[in-house]
Structure 1
Amino acid sequence: MVKKRNRDPEVLAEAPPVEADDSGSDDDVDMVNVDFEWFNFKPDIDFHGLKSLLRQLFDVDAQLFNLSALANLILSQPTIGSTVKVDGEDTDAYAFLTVLNVHEHRENQAIKDLAQYLLGKSRSNPALSALSNLLSSSSSQVGLVLAERLINCPAEISPPMYAMLIDEIEAAVEDKEPYEFTHYLIVSKTYHEIASALDQEDAPRTKKSKAGKASKETFYFHPEDEVLQRHALASGSYEYTKDEGEGMADSKRAFQEMGIKPQGSMILIEASKFEGAVKAIGEYLSPPQ
């Protein structure tokens, strides 16, 4: 069980060892134990690592936002949310999770831009219509949940981060801080399969039409998102605004060549159901005994 952290100076939760396959072989598997540590945000340490993870979270549309301002806003509330590190506090985070009060920060330009963006995206998908009404309301208390991790970071770090977030929100509400939400909005990423550029090049002309068919099934970069959407009032994906070719990194181009098309996603959960959703994440992603 994850211990609730003190909200004052940094107190680490005990990180369960996570076994990672370091061999690349199914027949001869070497397991490596990695100790992950949970920390409060530290403005003088975490700015650049946090900004990099935000850029990864928003994908090609990251260039639409002032990520420096958004990172600074997250760092201004250091006792809400967590970073996960391996080599001590003075290193960049492998992952982070936090929540921002959209109404409380409505005059902050970074939140204005992000809220307007999400409002537009919610209108592009009928499955997100409930979100459109909430974001347009001046009285709603929406907690914007932002979370991201490095691509090789195990999903098992997610349940403790969410569990600690609930504890920290409860403590903040007891202290009369503005974290008494009516809804939580998780911004994340999904993907679906498209025609692989490599398959298209290699396929005979008669088979190219078959190779060009795309799958409509949605897949999750974060396994916990599949659990969260089962508890959602509304959830859905959306296309990114920016062209995928604009400033695309080689690693992202490789995704496209392999037939994977990322897209943004939103999951809206009523506050009364959030704790149950977090418990379900823990049950789904608990390390094997």
Structure 2
Amino acid sequence: MVDVDFEWFDPQPEHDFHGLKTLLRQLLDVDAQLFDLSALVDLILSQPLLGSTVKVEGNESDPYAFLTVLNLHEHREKPVIKDLTKYLVQKSSTVTTLSNTFQALVSPDSSSEVGLILTERVINIPSEVVPPMYTMLLEEISWALEEKEPYKFSHYIVLSRAYTEVVSTLDQEENRPQKRKKAMGKKDLFYFHPEDEILHRHSLGFGGFEYTNDEGEEKADSKRAFQEEGIRPQGHMILIEGSAFEGAVKAIGEFLGPRS
């Protein structure tokens, strides 16, 4: 057991650029190369009073986790937001419960204000760091609205990650019948962010999508860690109505918060 003290900070333009870029690269996985991540980090850091980072070695260290929200309408003319919005529209069209819905919300003639929630953390960071980030985001949005800032969101779209387990080709080469039988069955979907399953209950729709640069199952063994199966990642998105967001945040706290 190792005792670690986690600290929450506002995004720091002078310290967090490289750490946030690394976490965004992890969040977007193989599709990260489709976007100007430097421009995306600069945009996140341009609103230092909205969102938070989690660190363990003080303010000047790299973040181990972050959460922020970007107004897709307010920043619609920025190239990186154009690229992200186009990407999300394309991917949402493959999700049954989101098909056409998200596209209508971000269309040029829509009056909706959609907040894109980006959040990621180092793989072994405990999920207990998540509820404070969401709670602080709610508070920060409330304070920003008092200052007439453009954060009155009608909807939120959460970009996340999931994965399926893929039977190792090494196991198949070893001719293990039980492994082949498992591979033929329906594959369960697992979530890198356990809070996603709570957000589902408060959403208008959600679902997974294949990455544009999907590497296929043949690369699954290279992402095999602490388990027998390989991992095939995929993107995941969750659409939440603005009026339901506070309840969703409360539910995350009840699910992932410290146990008494």
Alpha-carbon separation, structure 1, partners of 2:152 and 2:49: 15
Normalising by structure 2, we get a TM-score of 0.92
Counterpart amino acid of residue 263 in structure 1: Q
What is the Cα deviation at residue 257 of structure 1? 7.6
Alpha-carbon separation, structure 2, partners of 1:285 and 1:194: 28
Q: 1:122 to 1:207 in 2, by over 3 A?
A: same
Normalising by structure 1, we get a TM-score of 0.83
What is the Cα deviation at residue 208 of structure 1? 6.6
Q: Which residue of 2 aligns with 1:174?
A: 146
Q: 1:288 to 1:208 in 2, by over 3 A?
A: closer
Give the aligned length: 255
Q: 1:263 to 1:177 in 2, by over 3 A?
A: same
Answering whether residue 22 of structure 2 is matched by residue 44 of structure 1, we say no
Q: Which residue of 1 aligns with 2:155?
A: 183
Report 1:229-248 matches (<5 A). 229-244=200-215
Answering whether residue 123 of structure 2 is matched by residue 151 of structure 1, we say yes
Q: Which residue of 1 aligns with 2:56?
A: 86
Judge conservation of contact 1:227–1:281 (CA < 8 Å) in 2. Answer: yes
Alpha-carbon separation, structure 2, partners of 1:214 and 1:155: 30
From 157, 160, 168, the equivalent of 1:196 is 168
Runs of 4+ aligned residues of structure 1 deviating over 3 Å after TM superposition are 206-209, 250-253
Report 1:54-203 matches (<5 A). 54-129=24-99, 130-137=101-108, 138-203=110-175
Provide Cα deviations, 1:240-287, integer angstroms capped at 9, x if missing partner. Answer: 010327xx8x99533698332111000000010000000000000112
Alpha-carbon separation, structure 1, partners of 2:106 and 2:254: 31
RMSD: 2.0
Q: Which residue of 2 aligns with 1:283?
A: 254
Helix, strand or coil at the partner of 2:120: strand
Alpha-carbon separation, structure 1, partners of 2:222 and 2:17: 23
Provide Cα deviations, 1:134-165, integer angstroms capped at 9, x if missing partner. Answer: 13354220000000000010000000000000
What is the Cα deviation at residue 207 of structure 1? 5.9
Helix, strand or coil at the partner of 2:94: coil
Provide Cα deviations, 1:61-100, integer angstroms capped at 9, x if missing partner. Answer: 0011000000000000000000000000111000000000
Judge conservation of contact 2:223–2:230 (CA < 8 Å) in 1. Answer: no
Judge conservation of contact 1:34–1:86 (CA < 8 Å) in 2. Answer: yes
Most deviating of 36-45 and 189-198: 189-198
From 259, 264, 278, the equivalent of 2:230 is 259
Most deviating of 206-215 and 184-193: 206-215
Alpha-carbon separation, structure 2, partners of 1:67 and 1:214: 38
Helix, strand or coil at the partner of 1:263: strand
What is the Cα deviation at residue 128 of structure 1? 1.5
What is the Cα deviation at residue 131 of structure 1? 1.8
Counterpart amino acid of residue 122 in structure 1: S
Tell me, which stretches of 5 or more residues in structure 1 are unaligned?
1-30
Q: 1:257 to 1:58 in 2, by over 3 A?
A: farther
